Amino acid sequence: MIATGARPRTLPAFAAYDNVSTLRTLEQARALRDLLASGARLLIIGAGFIGQEVAAAARAHGGAVTVIEAEPLPMHGLLGREIGEWFAQVHREQGVELVLGRTVKQIHGGGVVEEVTLDDGRRIATDHVLVAIGVDPDVGWTTGVGLAAGAIATDAGGRSDAADVYAAGDAAAFHDAFLGRHALSGHWEAAGRQGVAVAHAVAGEPAPAPALSSFWSEQYGMRINYLGHAFLADAVEIDGDLAARDFVALYTRAGEAVAGLSVGRPRALGELRERLAYMTEAPAG
Ligand SMILES: Cc1cc2nc3c(=O)[nH]c(=O)nc-3n(C[C@H](O)[C@H](O)[C@H](O)COP(=O)(O)OP(=O)(O)OC[C@H]3O[C@@H](n4cnc5c(N)ncnc54)[C@H](O)[C@@H]3O)c2cc1C
């Protein structure tokens, strides 16, 4: 069973500089914690969940933090405009300098990054750069063993195309019957569930019932939970109060729920799960 996880993406332009890191390992997390405690100015590239959580941790330490995001809003592609605007506002209220729709054009400094110039000409000084632009399945080492390049595509029991080879977690792309295609999970709960599915398959038992795609995040003391496939939605309804950080965003497609994001309402998850259960029961038409 291949369960080698994922590797953070890097930016070649930053490869030659010492004060640049990614976040995946415990060692990297400890180094980052020490850096935040020292009050260093932090430049984060990418406003996905890792970038946002580190920004929140940096602000908890009182450090100056700038986040540069190429998209017009944080999580825009996955969660849409309303929730992207909400995330942007939360970080700005907490003192994060959030620069949206921009990328780094030039790096200044010898050996360490001292300053960057953005594509609008703006310059930002920093003590450390965290590159948080997503991950790729860590499967490069499997080249030449009869598996297609990239994430290991599997059925619902984790079986790959190669005989007796299974995969689970961030290295795998399980088949999602509702979407009708293989999909990366990239999240903790899915990795655990997929490991269990592989155990069932190896033992010759039927696969356990599939589960909804889900993740959680903690930022500024808020618990954020997500279920489903928001990218399928054509509308989003907010129940609650965005400003009070107490709401459920229900994503719908042709009036039917396809995903939900709850903030400060962990009990809403049970109801969301029930509304979305159909997505794990029958393939989409
Ligand atoms: C900072 C951070 C925060 C996160 N927060 C959340 C969160 O809040 N919620 C959430 O749902 N998910 C979160 N995730 C994602 C979650 O951690 C992953 O989805 C999950 O760990 C994937 O599990 P895995 O077993 O597939 O891979 P991993 O946990 O990455 O484990 C893979 C292991 O394989 C080892 N390995 C790699 N290559 C080899 C090799 N060739 N030989 C031997 N060993 C090898 C690696 O060293 C690693 O220990 C977070 C991830 C990070 C980095």
Determine the 3-state secondary structure of 15 from DSSP: coil
- d(CA 1, CA 147) in angstroms, rounded, equals 13
User: With a 6 A CB cut-off, is 284 part of the ligand 1 pocket?
Assistant: no
Query: Band of the pLDDT at 280, cuts 50, 70, 90?
Result: confident
Query: Band of the pLDDT at 285, cuts 50, 70, 90?
Result: very low
Query: Band of the pLDDT at 282, cuts 50, 70, 90?
Result: low
> For ligand 1, atom 26, which residue shows the shortest CA distance?
169
Determine the 3-state secondary structure of 254 from DSSP: coil
Query: What is the average pLDDT across 258-274?
Result: 93
Stretch among 22-36, 118-132, 204-218, 245-259 having the lowest mean pLDDT: 204-218
264 burial type by CB count under 10 A (0-12 exposed, 13-18 middle, 19+ buried): middle
> What CATH code is assigned to 6-135?
3.50.50.60
Spell out the residues 6+ positions from residue 87 whose beta carbon is closer than 8 angstroms to its own: 47, 52, 73, 74, 75, 79
User: With a 6 A CB cut-off, is 24 part of the ligand 1 pocket?
Assistant: yes
Stretch among 69-83, 142-156, 158-172 having the lowest mean pLDDT: 142-156
- Report the CATH architecture of 139-202: 3-Layer(bba) Sandwich (3.50)
User: With a 6 A CB cut-off, is 217 part of the ligand 1 pocket?
Assistant: yes
Please provide the DSSP assignment of 189-235 as one string.
Answer: HHHHHHHHHHHHHHTTPPPPPP---EEEEEETTEEEEEEE-GGG-SE
- d(CA 256, CA 78) in angstroms, rounded, equals 18
Query: Which pTM value belongs to this model?
Result: 0.93
CATH fold match for the domains 6-135 and 214-280? no
Question: Ligand 1 center to residue 6 CA distance, Å?
Answer: 6
Overall fold of domain 214-280: Enolase-like; domain 1 (3.30.390)
pLDDT for residue 232 is more than 50: yes
Domain range summary for the chain, segments of one domain joined by +: 6-135, 139-202, 214-280
pLDDT value of position 113: 98
| pLDDT tens for each residue of 178-202 | 899 999 988 999 999 999 999 999 9
Identify which of 233, 186, 232, 190 has the alpha carbon closest to the alpha carbon of residue 212. 190
